[in-house]
Amino acid sequence: MPDVRLSSPQGKWILLTTVLGSSMALLDSTVVNVALPRIGRDLNVDLAALQWTVNAYLVTLAGLILLGGALGDRYGRRKIFVIGVVWFASASLLCGVAPNAGVLVAARALQGIGGALLTPGSLALIQASFHPDDRAKAVGLWSGFGGIGAAVGPFLGGWLVDGPGWRWVFLINVPVALLCAPIAVRHVPESGGREFRPHGAGAEAGAGTGAGGGGAGTEAEEEEGARGGFDVLGAALGALALALVTYALIEARQGSAVVAVTAVAGVAAAVAFVLVEKHRPDPMMPLDIFASRQFTVVNLVTMCVYAAFGGFFFLTALQLQVVSGYSPLKAGTALLPTTVLMLLFSARSGALADRIGPRIPLTVGPLLCAAAMLLILRVGKKADYLTDVLPALLVMGAGMVVLVAPLTATVLASVDTERAGLASGINNAAARAAGLIAVAALPLLAGMGPDAYRSADAFDAAFRRAMPWCAGVLVLGAVLAFAWVRRPAPDCNVPECRTHGNITSPPLDTGKRGRDPR
């Protein structure tokens, strides 16, 4: 039984290393957008290369995050977490010294693999290490510090780009890893692997990914799942499908036969992924979890919401710099209000959803965000921050406050308790996949040419065509929520929901609620 107390020196070290590890991946997902114009100019690349700079990371992260949690369950969560930290830092170093766009994109894909290993492991280590009486508080602190990191991210990214240069957006991860990994090895107890046999729900700890047993089963099944293989084929097919579809969307403006073949291959890989998951005895994503209509609908709402968010923050960071003339530092600082509002008011939003149920928050939240997408159209040349930029970001933040905590809690409430961790992992992966598809598709839908970000007039015109698309997707999410989401009211009192500031994905949850993980 885990017995580390939060007030002990070891407890503080565990909290520190998990915060440092998760913050690397969280910061990376928010700071890169601010650096894109400088990366484009320095490497002399077109818009497609900037899209790949964002999406190469998301392809591997979204495709492998479920497998990453399962690897921690099988081989040891601390071991996989440390490997993820070192891998992520090594890929960050390669990003920082990349001589051209090809190397940068490849390094970003490697970063995503590291992120898939360390992201589920950071929370799983807390859940597996702390005494049950301290676990909720530890998770709350972990989530809160992570939220602060998310808020600081765009500001830090802008400061680095304006100061030592865009390469330091990546290189800063190296000293963080040099601090994080030794602390983990020295102070964090191992869990999972041969020393650990979960009780109650497959491999739900980590990201609740359960590759060895699909998230539920008897103790004997769990023992067998721990000894068995992993759904490597499913993970590979999922990542391949995302990569091929992303390539087809980004390169579609060329209209070549290669793009058409790639699109067909992407669809075929997606179909193969579904077939593998349907027939495999230990699927990464057991399809029977979608028998819950509410779970399915909430994941569709999640995809609508985070597709819009991904497109919004990708294009707005460029709009502020390319069209409005903001420096990277000013553009990064301009985006702070959304995250700050989430940190301050998510707990109150969760309490409200506890009382009235999820339907209204999941309807009103996307509509508020859709209004923000239209308000941001006021941002053009020489945009005034207080009158043009801030109102849209405040409305955006309000919508996210209303939406995010109830959305995550509804996902957890839509399945059996022992599959809550699995449900959270699927929901998180769906959000990231939706964001990368949006970054790939929006420039195509808005008619952005390869050099659009080099021309203020061209980019501004395309931006004004793109934001209504984002708003429309959010309205679709609101309609789905209003039509299909019902009670039972979710438990929004989860620590991850109360203090959450990540704008790129919903919070992960292990599904544990103070239970002894053995």
Q: DSSP class of residue 387?
A: I
pLDDT at 218 > cutoff 60: no
11-27: pLDDT as tens digits? 999 999 999 998 888 88
Tokens of 145: 């510090």
pLDDT at 303 > cutoff 80: yes
Tokens of 346: 């998510």
41-84: pLDDT as tens digits? 999 999 999 999 999 999 999 999 989 888 888 889 999 999 99
How far is the C-alpha of 471 from the C-alpha of 233, rounded, in Å?
36
Question: What's residue 314's pLDDT?
Answer: 94
* Residue 44 CB contacts under 8 Å (≥ 6 apart), including other chains: none
How far is the C-alpha of 437 from the C-alpha of 431, rounded, in Å?
10
Q: Which residue has the tokens 């969760």?
A: 350
Tokens of 469: 């698309």
Q: Which helix (H) or strand (E) holds 352?
A: helix 336-356
How far is the C-alpha of 235 from the C-alpha of 111, rounded, in Å?
17
**How confident is the prediction for the chain on average, in pLDDT?**
86
Provide the pLDDT confidence category of residue 2 given band limits of 50, 70 and 90: low
pLDDT at 204 > cutoff 70: no
- Tell me the whole-structure pTM to 2 decimals: 0.87
1-196+206-228 and 289-508 share one fold: yes
- Residue 487's SS3 state is coil
DSSP 27-85: HHHHHHHHHHHHHHHHHT--HHHHHHHHHHHHHHHHHHHHHHHHHHHHH-HHHHHHHHH
pLDDT at 417 > cutoff 90: no
Question: What's residue 494's pLDDT?
Answer: 62
Question: What's residue 510's pLDDT?
Answer: 62
Higher pLDDT, 400 or 486: 400
- 94-111 mean pLDDT: 96
Cβ–Cβ < 8 Å for 349, 406: yes
Least confident of 187-196, 276-285, 324-333: 187-196
Question: What's residue 387's pLDDT?
Answer: 95
Question: What's residue 205's pLDDT?
Answer: 35
Across the strands, what pairs with 4? 130
- 149-177 mean pLDDT: 90
- 410-426 mean pLDDT: 85
Higher pLDDT, 155 or 309: 309
Dihedral angle sign, alpha carbons of residues 210, 211, 217, 220: negative
- Residue 205's SS3 state is coil
How far is the C-alpha of 98 from the C-alpha of 105, rounded, in Å?
9
pLDDT at 200 > cutoff 60: no
Tokens of 267: 């669809």
pLDDT at 515 > cutoff 50: no
Q: How far is CA 385 from CA 116, 324, 435, in A?
A: 36, 10, 26
- Listed by start position, the domains of the chain span 1-196+206-228, 232-279, 289-508
* Residue 66 CB contacts under 8 Å (≥ 6 apart), including other chains: 207, 209, 211, 235, 284, 285, 425, 426, 429
Tokens of 307: 């597709």
Question: What's residue 196's pLDDT?
Answer: 40
Give me the helix-helix angle, 232-250 and 257-279, nearest 10°.
160
Q: Which residue has the tokens 């859940």?
A: 127
Angle at 148 between CA 147 and CA 150, to 5 degrees: 65
Question: What's residue 131's pLDDT?
Answer: 86
Question: What's residue 138's pLDDT?
Answer: 86
Provide the pLDDT confidence category of residue 227 given band limits of 50, 70 and 90: very low
Q: DSSP class of residue 494?
A: -
pLDDT at 269 > cutoff 60: yes
Give residue 497's Cα distance to chain centre: 14
Cβ–Cβ < 8 Å for 113, 60: yes
Cβ–Cβ < 8 Å for 187, 174: no
Question: What's residue 224's pLDDT?
Answer: 37
Nearest to 24 by CA among 119, 155, 144: 119
Please report, rounded to a whole number, the percentage of residues in the chain having pLDDT higher than 90.
59
Provide the pLDDT confidence category of residue 368 given band limits of 50, 70 and 90: very high
pLDDT at 339 > cutoff 50: yes
Question: What's residue 367's pLDDT?
Answer: 98
In the CATH hierarchy, which top-level class contains the domain 289-508? mainly alpha
Which amino acid, one-letter code, is at 243? A
* Residue 190 CB contacts under 8 Å (≥ 6 apart), including other chains: 76, 77, 78, 79
DSSP 482-499: HHH--PSPP----HHHHS
Question: What's residue 203's pLDDT?
Answer: 36
Angle at 372 between CA 371 and CA 376, to 5 degrees: 120
* Residue 395 CB contacts under 8 Å (≥ 6 apart), including other chains: 368, 369, 371, 372, 375
- 325-332 mean pLDDT: 93
Question: What's residue 159's pLDDT?
Answer: 93
Number of H helices, E strands in the chain: 18, 0
Question: What's residue 487's pLDDT?
Answer: 66
Question: What's residue 347's pLDDT?
Answer: 76
CATH assignment of 1-196+206-228?
Answer: 1.20.1250.20
How far is the C-alpha of 25 from the C-alpha of 180, rounded, in Å?
13
- 188-192 mean pLDDT: 85
Which amino acid, one-letter code, is at 98? A
Q: DSSP class of residue 490?
A: P
How far is the C-alpha of 511 from the C-alpha of 304, rounded, in Å?
24
Outline where 130-172 has alpha helix (H): 132-162, 168-171
- Buried-state track 137-156, b at ≥16 Cβ within 10 A, e below 16: ebbbbbbbbbbbbbbbbbbb
